[in-house]
Amino acid sequence: MKRVAIYPGSFDPVTNGHLDILKRGLRLFDIIIVAILHNPGKEGLFTVKERVGMLEESTRDLEHIEIDTFDGLLVDYAAKRNAQAILRGMRAVSDFEYEFQLALMNRRLNRDVQTVFLMTGLRWIFTSSSIIKEAARFGGDINGMVPPVVLKKLKKKFRQAYSRS
Ligand code: PNS
């Protein structure tokens, strides 16, 4: 039986921290399905289609992964995809409370799906999509924190801020 994991998230946009978790996860699972939450009630900086595109481009050199979108409950999506695990990245202690809540609720909803946490590499410990977007919004240097395609897209989105710096 193939070991399948879902790596869910907003990925608005994908960061090098996400890619780090994905690569670590590939050492444990046969297939990882990167699943972007399609949440019509919460608009992101990028559309879901753009997020899929950026993920596809930045994972082009990786095998055994699939990029998909989902809506509704994560555990229902995991069951539909015959996944045994949900993969989540853990950075600092600040992540713990939310991740703990999420994992326990998911376990309550479906006892057959296990949540697996992986620690990010130290260099990504402070990286998050939100903090990167915040820096980019004001023209901050985010080189090396996101894949090249994302850097290009963020610079385009916040063109004015970057033209001032
Ligand atoms: O990247 P994020 O925003 O931290 O990812 C959060 C995500 C998408 C994993 C979480 O919000 C989610 O799974 N949403 C789908 C609805 C769901 O199943 N929620 C958890 C149990 S109520």
Domain boundaries, the chain: 4-126
The 10s digit of each residue's pLDDT in 54-78 is 999 999 999 999 999 999 999 999 9
Multiple choice CATH, 4-126, 3.20.20.140, 3.90.1150.10, 3.40.50.620, 3.60.40.10: 3.40.50.620
Please say whether the dihedral angle defined by the alpha carbons of residues 24, 25, 26 and 32, taken in this order, is positive or negative.
negative
The 10s digit of each residue's pLDDT in 91-149 is 988 899 999 999 999 999 999 999 999 999 999 999 999 999 999 999 999 999 999 99
State how far the Cα of 116 lies from the Cα of 134, in Å rounded to an integer: 29
User: Is 24:118 a contact under the CB 8 Å cutoff?
Assistant: yes
Q: Whose CA is nearest to atom 2 of ligand 1?
A: 9
Q: Whose CA is nearest to atom 14 of ligand 1?
A: 74
CA 9 to centroid of ligand 1, rounded, Å? 6
CA 126 to centroid of ligand 1, rounded, Å? 20
The response to whether residue 13 sits with its C-beta less than 6 Å from ligand 1 reads: no
Which alpha helices (H) appear in the chain, and where do they start and end?
16-25, 48-58, 74-80, 96-109, 129-137, 148-157, 159-164
pLDDT score of 41: 86
Whole-model pTM: value is 0.97
